[in-house]
Amino acid sequence: MTPRLMPKRVCQVGDFVKMEAWSVRALRWSLGPLSVLWAASLPVAAHAASDAPGVLTYPFALVVYAIGSLVCHQRPDRSFHLHGVPLPVCARCVGIYVGAAIASLGQALFAFQQKRIPLRHAFKRAAVPPTARLLAASAPTVATLVYEWTTGVTPSNWLRAAAALPVGFVVMQMLVRSLAEPGSSTRDARPDLMTTGR
pLDDT below 50 — which residues of the chain? Answer: 1-2, 5-14, 16-17, 116-117, 119, 122-123, 184-198
Cβ proximity of 96 and 160 under 8 Å: no
pLDDT of 56: 77
Residue 195 is predicted with a pLDDT of 42
Q: Give pLDDT, residue 197.
A: 46
Give the per-residue pLDDT at 178: 80
pLDDT at 26: 73
Which of 37, 35, 159, 162 minimizes the C-alpha distance to 100? 35
What pLDDT is attached to residue 10? Answer: 44
Q: Residue 85 is inside which H or E element, if any?
A: strand 85-86
Buried b (16+ CB within 10 A) or exposed e, 8-27: eeeeebeeebeebbeebeee
The secondary structure element, H or E, covering residue 164 is helix 157-179
What pLDDT is attached to residue 21? 67
DSSP lists the bridge partners of residue 81 as 86
pLDDT of res. 124: 52
Domain ranges of the chain: 6-195
Torsion sign across C-alpha atoms 150, 152, 156, 157: positive
Handedness of CA 46, 47, 52, 54 (dihedral sign): negative
**Stated length of the chain:** 198
Cα–Cα distance for residue pair 182/87, rounded to 1 Å? 39
User: What single string gives the DSSP state of each residue in 2-44?
Assistant: -TTTHHHHHHHHHHHHHHHHHHHHHHHHHHHHHHHHHHHHHHH
pLDDT value of residue 41: 96
User: Which has the closest alpha carbon to 19: 11, 7, 8, 31?
Assistant: 11
Nearest alpha-carbon partner for 60 in 80, 85, 42: 42
